[in-house]
């Protein structure tokens, strides 16, 4: 699965998503692109999902017309340690991810 990490997600988190192609917004030079345009650009570039910690994004987008899946990481903080706690839930969720869906991943 081809994953895009939003600019609010630590770039080193991608190293822990083995089995997936994970890219960051910064690596692609897409910093500053707003969420709707970012989702459209990601879809055009063949991404399957955007991973973000932005909990407001679901209220800012038309969920019925998402161009790719949206995964909200509900970590306690943006720190790597708090993101890593989500991996046991995130990995199976990615395996079951449906196109154009919204999935929230919360700590156990």
Which band of pLDDT confidence, cut at 50, 70 and 90, is reported for residue 66?
Answer: confident
- The mean pLDDT value of the chain amounts to 94
pLDDT beyond 90 at 61:
no
Enumerate the domain spans of the chain: 2-105
Q: Are 47 and 68 in contact (CB under 8 A)?
A: yes
Say if residue 35's pLDDT is above 90.
no
Could you report the per-residue pLDDT of 5-27, keeping only the tens digit for each?
A: 999 999 999 999 999 999 999 99
Distances 42 to 36, 48, 85 between C-alpha atoms, Å: 10, 8, 26
Q: Model confidence over 73-102: pLDDT tens digits?
A: 999 999 999 999 999 999 999 999 998 899
What's the pLDDT score for residue 60? 86
- Whole-structure pTM value: 0.94
- What does CATH list as the number for 2-105? 3.40.50
């Amino acid at each position: 699965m081809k994953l895009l990490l939003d600019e609010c997600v630590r770039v080193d988190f991608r190293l822990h998503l083995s089995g997936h192609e994970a890219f960051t917004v910064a690596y692609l030079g897409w910093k500053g692109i707003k969420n709707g345009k970012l989702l459209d650009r990601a879809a055009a570039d063949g991404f399957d999902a955007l991973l973000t910690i932005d909990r407001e994004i679901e209220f800012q987008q038309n969920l019925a017309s998402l161009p790719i899946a949206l995964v909200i990481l509900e970590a306690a903080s943006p720190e790597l340690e708090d993101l890593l706690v989500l991996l046991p839930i995130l990995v199976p969720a990615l395996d079951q991810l449906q196109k154009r869906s919204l999935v929230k991943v919360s700590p156990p």
